[in-house]
C-alpha cells in the first residue's frame, strides 16, 4: 500500500463513531511523517468542526413537533388522493357491472377494461400536471 491508501483508511477510521486506526495504519504512521501530518490535520479539523457545531442543540419539543408535522402531512396526502381513489373505484365498479351484464359480448368486456385503464391513466396524468403546477 502507498500513502494514498493509508490516508483513505485514516479517513474511513475517522468516519466511524468510535474512531480507531487499525494496526497496519499505526505501523505506517510510526515511520511516515507525511501521513502523521495528514492524520494530525484530520484530527484538528475534526475537533474544530465538533467545537463549531457543538453549540447547535435542538429543543426538547423538536422531535414531538416533527412527528406531529409528519403525521399531519401524511394524513393530508391521503385526503388529497381520496378523489382519485374514488374515481378509480367507480370506474372499476362500472367495468365489473358492464362485464356481468353483457358477459356474452366480448367487446363490452374489452371496452370495460379500456375504460378502467383510461381512467387510471387520466388520474396519473392529472396528478403529474398538478405537481408540475405546484412546483
One domain, residues 77 and 113: yes
Percentage of residues of the chain with pLDDT beyond 70: 76
The single-letter DSSP state of residue 112 is H
- pLDDT tens-place string over residues 74-130: 665 666 777 777 777 777 777 777 777 776 776 666 776 777 777 777 777 776 666
Domain that holds residue 70: 62-134
Nearest CA to 35 out of 59, 64, 5 is that of: 5
Is the pLDDT at 49 greater than 80? The verdict is yes
One domain, residues 86 and 130: yes
One domain, residues 78 and 122: yes
Structurally, how many domains does the chain consist of?
A: 2
One domain, residues 45 and 66: no
Is the pLDDT at 60 greater than 90? The verdict is no
Percentage of residues of the chain with pLDDT beyond 90: 12
What is the reported pTM?
Answer: 0.40
pLDDT at 70: 75
Amino acid at each position: 500500500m502507498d500513502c494514498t491508501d493509508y490516508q483513505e483508511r485514516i479517513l474511513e477510521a475517522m468516519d466511524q463513531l468510535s474512531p480507531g486506526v487499525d494496526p497496519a495504519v499505526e505501523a505506517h504512521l510510526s515511520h511516515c511523517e507525511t501521513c502523521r501530518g495528514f492524520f494530525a490535520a484530520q484530527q484538528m479539523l475534526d475537533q474544530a468542526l465538533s467545537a463549531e457545531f457543538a453549540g447547535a442543540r435542538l429543543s426538547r419539543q423538536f422531535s414531538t413537533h416533527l412527528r406531529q408535522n409528519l403525521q399531519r402531512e401524511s394524513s393530508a396526502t391521503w385526503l388529497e388522493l381520496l378523489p382519485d381513489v374514488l374515481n378509480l373505484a367507480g370506474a372499476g365498479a362500472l367495468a365489473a357491472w358492464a362485464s356481468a351484464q353483457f358477459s356474452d359480448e366480448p367487446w363490452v368486456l374489452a371496452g370495460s377494461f379500456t375504460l378502467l385503464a383510461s381512467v387510471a391513466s387520466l388520474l396519473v396524468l392529472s396528478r403529474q400536471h398538478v405537481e408540475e403546477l405546484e412546483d
